[in-house]
Amino acid sequence: MLNPLGEWLLKLIILRENMNKYLSSFLLLTSLLFAVDKKGKIKEEFNVSGVVLGKDGKGLKKVNLIIYDDNNQEVDDEKTNGDGEFKFKKIRIGNYTIKGAHKQEGEVDTKFSVKNIDVVLTIDYNQNQYTKISEINDKTEGNLTPKKLPQQRVEPENKKLKFDELFFEYEANLKALKTEIDSLKRVVKGYEKGQTMPNISRDILDLIKIPENQHQVELQNGTVVSGELLQESDSTLTLKTQIGTLVLKKEMVIRMDELEKPGPNVVFTDDPFIDYYPDKQIFSGEVKNIGKIRADFVRVICNLFSQTTDEVGTDSIFIKGSRVVYDSNVVADTALEPGERASYILTVPISKGIKPQYHTMDIRWSQTN
């Protein structure tokens, strides 16, 4: 028989052993729960997400990311969003390499492993390596946003100049210094040449502005006057010219012609050829620029209408013309030079259950400098 103290110690030992068993069972169960999905099955695919940091320490957008397995086979690809974040889904357990490519920052690659839980990474272009923030289990398929690590800047040591030292040996570098000064002069001249015209008052602009709609008047004495017709009466003509406003008597006028500012003018060369189908109509034909200026982004538009003037179909297409590189670095082949022709084939779908009775055709274009 044990005394009361011995019985109490025995119970405590038994209780501790049971607690150890319970604790080990609880940890085993918890680790299994992290690897089990909502349907109770063991997860074999996990999420790999994170952020890509540029050389300035901020999230880098439009980085093309590709994951490769141990056999250098491509597994998945993704692109970072505006904050530099990315997320791959359904990545199986194993060892991988993730490679990133960016137009300005260049390329970066790193290795990581997927075990029984989701992975969150930070890929840093400064160190060309990743920092594993955490490996967590995401049961709700939510977006993972890792915290960005602050970048440490190494302060350079300031080199002090001694009192008796010069910045450079002027005798040996006199020729190089003259070359630098000449180069600087050329830069200043180029900058001055590239300066824009200063602001001019509205009154001065009003005097030198060329009217958009001009008229050309020929007088009996052989003088030809060009300007904008402001007013016409039974006996006089009032013209706004570049030198001011003139009032001319009609008895002195021999002929007056209306002038137009040169520009593009795209027209149809003939009526389109139409192929009829139950659910669509196909229009084909040719257009021509009869103007004196190039027409840009030429587009043919067609509208179909029912007997009650309801619209039953509409579509448009850009013509295939000359290839032009614009000042904005946009490259397009939808321009028509003066006198140039281009063909088009436009398919217009028809609304179900409605029969078109007639159509209209239109041409749109733009004019750039």
Q: What is the pLDDT of residues 80-130, one digit of tens each?
A: 998 889 999 888 888 999 988 988 888 888 888 888 788 888 888 876 644
Whole-angstrom distance, CA of residue 23 vs CA of residue 17: 10
Whole-angstrom distance, CA of residue 246 vs CA of residue 228: 10
Q: Which helix (H) or strand (E) holds 26?
A: helix 4-34
CB 358 within 8 A of CB 303: no
Asked, colleague to colleague, whether 45-134 and 266-366 share their fold, the answer is: yes
Q: How confident is the model at residue 227 (pLDDT cuts 50, 70, 90)?
A: confident
233: its two tokens: 């009466």
Which stretch of 155-164, 223-232, 269-278, 339-348 has the lowest confidence by average pLDDT? Answer: 155-164
Report angle CA 31, 36, 42 to the nearest 5 degrees.
105
Q: Which residue type occupies 79?
A: K
CA distances from 49 to 83, 132, 143 (A): 13, 11, 8
CA 32 to chain centre: 46
| Nearest residue to 266 (alpha-carbon basis) of 322, 337, 315 | 337
| Nearest residue to 237 (alpha-carbon basis) of 260, 253, 257, 259 | 253
Q: Which residue type occupies 47?
A: N
User: Which fold, 266-366?
Assistant: Immunoglobulin-like (2.60.40)
Q: Which residue type occupies 116?
A: N
CA distances from 287 to 198, 318, 327 (A): 43, 11, 26
CA distances from 242 to 78, 208, 214, 223, 258 (A): 62, 6, 11, 15, 17
Q: Which residue has the higher pLDDT, 249 or 209?
A: 249
Domain boundary assignment for the chain = 45-134, 202-259, 266-366
CB 65 within 8 A of CB 79: yes
Q: What is the pLDDT of residues 331-356, one digit of tens each?
A: 889 999 999 999 999 999 998 778 89
Coil, strand, or helix at residue 190? Answer: helix
Q: CATH number for the 45-134 domain, one of 2.60.40.10, 3.40.50.1980, 3.40.50.1100, 3.30.43.10?
A: 2.60.40.10
* Residues in the chain, overall count: 369
Mean pLDDT of the chain: 77
Q: Which residue has the higher pLDDT, 259 or 223?
A: 223
In the chain, what percentage of residues exceed pLDDT 90? 24
Q: What is the pLDDT of residues 188-197, one digit of tens each?
A: 776 666 556 5
Report whether pLDDT(307) > 70.
Answer: yes
User: Which fold, 202-259?
Assistant: SH3 type barrels. (2.30.30)
Report angle CA 216, 218, 223 to the nearest 5 degrees.
110
| Nearest residue to 91 (alpha-carbon basis) of 121, 62, 122 | 121
Q: Please report where in the chains the tokens 């040169």 appear, as a residue.
A: 262
Q: Please report where in the chains the tokens 């600087």 appear, as a residue.
A: 184
Region class of 19: left (phi > 0), else alpha (psi between -120 and 50), else beta: alpha
CB atoms within 10 A of CB 294: 20
pLDDT at 187: 74
pLDDT at 229: 84
Q: How confident is the model at residue 223 (pLDDT cuts 50, 70, 90)?
A: confident
| Nearest residue to 121 (alpha-carbon basis) of 151, 98, 153 | 98
Backbone angles phi, psi at 266, to 5 degrees: -105, 130
143: its two tokens: 């977006």
3-state DSSP helix/strand/coil % of the chain, to nearest 5: 15, 45, 40
With a threshold of 0.85, does the pTM exceed it?
A: no
Coil, strand, or helix at residue 15? Answer: helix
| Nearest residue to 280 (alpha-carbon basis) of 302, 299, 260 | 302
Q: Which residue type occupies 32?
A: L
CB 362 within 8 A of CB 283: no
Backbone angles phi, psi at 28, to 5 degrees: -65, -45
